[in-house]
Amino acid sequence: MTDLGDKPSATPGGRTDVDKAFLGTATYRSLGEQHLSPREEAFEKGRRTVGLFLAPLVASVFWFLPFDLPGEQQGLAAVLLGVIVLWITEPVPIPVGGFIGIAAIVVLGVSSADETLAPFGSSTIFTFIGAFILAQAMLKHGVAQRFAMFVLSLPGVGKSTFRVIIAFGVITALLSAFVSNTATVAMLLPTAIGILTVIAKLMQSKGTVAEDFDPLRLRVGVALMLMLAYGASVGGLLTPVGSPPNLIGRGLIEEATGETISFLDWMIMAAPICGLMFVALAIILLLLNRPEIRELEGVEEYVREEKAKLGRPSLAERNTLIAFGITVALWIFPGIIAVLFTTESAVYETVSGRLDEGVVAILGASLLFVLPTKWSEREFTMRWSDAAKIDWGTIVLFGTGIVFGSLLEDTGLALTIGEGAFSALGLTSVFAITIFAAILAILISETTSNTASAAVVVPIIIPIAMAAGVNPFIPALAATFAASFGFMLPVSTPQNAIVYGSGAVPITKMIRSGFSFDILGAILIVILLPMMVGVLGLGG
């Protein structure tokens, strides 16, 4: 646990101990890499031990049950069930669980190696690799930290706990639209802890709390930490590259319907949902965890000191912003062409074909390796050793998710499940299927990664809609959005786990707050998404 009585110690390079703890392998951590109470450690050991034996048992039993299914469909279902158990219980790192499943599919003859591994070469994978390298540059050179300090130093922000908490949410949401949710929260956590330290000492000096109070149990700390975690989940929806489920769902929808969702269309469609969800986030978090103190002293000074430490923007920072700006501009440009010339025009087809998002992402990332910082020493903005530090585990998980999504469709298992669910549930309208899609995706994302949730749920929702004779565009998109809304448990998302690991968020308060946002998120998706799809003329 982090002691709020002391600031995190800094290394000579300016990186704090908290930075080092979370920026390395924050997404998938073994028991030895976490700070757990004895009860939590016992639960984690039990969960992982059970999964180690339950996964092969579930897969084997389903493999031999006398279902009236073609062999490849039953084999895929058996392996996928085993992988889902591995994803939920984590006896091995989540990406490794996906690798085990892929190996089993080929070894057991469900699909050939070439067919199974083909999705790993998709443009979507390169989109994420490029985006992750750009994000790594923003973290390495302090661009993200400078942006955070800029917002926190705005006039009046540091004078009120309410404003500080909302400002942290805004920072997190905007950064998470382009930087990994996990990396954003990990990067901002030391600053949040520093500000919480100032607030705790201020409360003690004013006699607002007892001398022997526990600073890890302040309501203001709960609100601040949950704003970090939840703000990242909400902000990750704003762009297609903001979160892995976005790209997985979008790819599956485009494959099933033949309709392209441009970068700009996605942002316009997601903006109202993100905006309203953020407003609700701020209101409900502050109502459920009303800060013990409202007026602040000392926070503005703390932010001013931290901002001063950053100094003037370096050449590396400016190069990073250039590469980032060019990438985003090229991502948005085809959408602007579509507005000016329509998607049926030859101009749009040429521009969108050549400015493929995956190609643009790796082009932008490549700029980081050619924009110099010290030309005399042939030193550039990024080294390959920096790029090697990106979260390859998420990319692996992302790739395996695409593999399973493609196999669900190719083997016909998704259609079989969809027709079965259609018959059993009697879902006959877009509205009913959209509600079912949102609820199912949220439930699954609470127990496993949001990437895995999108990879499993979207391929099932598409054939359900087709069996009902409705366009799967809106229901599948609802499942994609809802996959990012796992708010209740530390295991739901890595960012939840990070703030829970700070010790400032009791599990009961995370569940209580998260349950409210799960329900609210589902309602906003079901109501607003069809409206925005209609406004943009998509899904026709």
Q: Which pairs count as long-range contacts for 301-308, CB under 8 Å and 24+ apart, including other chains?
A: 302/158, 302/194, 302/195, 302/198, 303/149, 303/152, 303/153, 303/158, 303/195, 304/153, 306/149, 306/191, 306/194, 307/146, 307/149, 307/150, 307/153
Instruction: Show the tokens assigned to 5.
Output: 């009585």
For 531, the 3-state DSSP assignment is: helix
Instruction: Show the tokens assigned to 55.
Output: 């996964």
Q: How far apart are CA 18 and CA 146, in angstroms?
A: 18
Q: What is the pLDDT of residues 167-195, one digit of tens each?
A: 889 989 998 888 778 778 877 877 787 77
Rounded to whole angstroms, what are the CA distances from 521 to 14, 362, 492, 515? 38, 33, 15, 10
Instruction: Show the tokens assigned to 375.
Output: 């030309």
**Size of the chain in residues:** 540
Place 259 in a pLDDT band, splitting at 50, 70 and 90: confident
Residue 84: exposed, middle, or buried by beta-carbon count in 10 A (0-12, 13-18, 19+)? buried
59 with 78: CB under 8 angstroms? yes
pLDDT for position 405: 75
Axis-axis angle for helices 507-536, 473-482 (nearest 10): 150
Regarding predicted confidence, which is higher, 35 or 220?
220
Q: What is the pLDDT of residues 332-378, one digit of tens each?
A: 888 888 878 876 788 888 888 888 878 888 899 999 999 999 988 88
Which of 264, 385, 273, 377 minimizes the C-alpha distance to 329?
A: 264
For 378, the 3-state DSSP assignment is: coil
519 with 439: CB under 8 angstroms? no
pLDDT for position 540: 64
Q: How far apart are CA 95 and CA 188, in angstroms?
A: 25
Instruction: Show the tokens assigned to 462.
Output: 């598409």
Is a pLDDT exceeding 60 seen at residue 2? no
Instruction: Show the tokens assigned to 508.
Output: 């009961």
The radius of gyration of the chain's CA atoms, rounded to the nearest angstrom, is 23
Element (H, E) at 275: helix 263-288
Q: Which pairs count as long-range contacts for 95-100, CB under 8 Å and 24+ apart, including other chains?
A: 95/28, 95/393, 95/394, 95/396, 95/397, 95/400, 97/55, 98/396, 98/397, 98/399, 98/400, 98/401, 98/403, 98/404, 99/396, 99/400
Which of 73, 58, 97 minimizes the C-alpha distance to 400?
A: 97
What single letter denotes the amino acid at residue 151?
V
pTM: 0.72
Place 18 in a pLDDT band, splitting at 50, 70 and 90: very low
Partners of 372 in beta bridges: 380
Q: What is the pLDDT of residues 360-373, one digit of tens each?
A: 888 999 999 999 99
Q: How far apart are CA 188 and CA 392, in angstroms?
A: 21
304 with 157: CB under 8 angstroms? no
pLDDT for position 60: 95
Q: What is the pLDDT of residues 471-522, one digit of tens each?
A: 999 999 999 999 988 888 776 777 887 787 777 888 788 888 899 899 999 9
Q: How far apart are CA 214 and CA 399, in angstroms?
A: 44
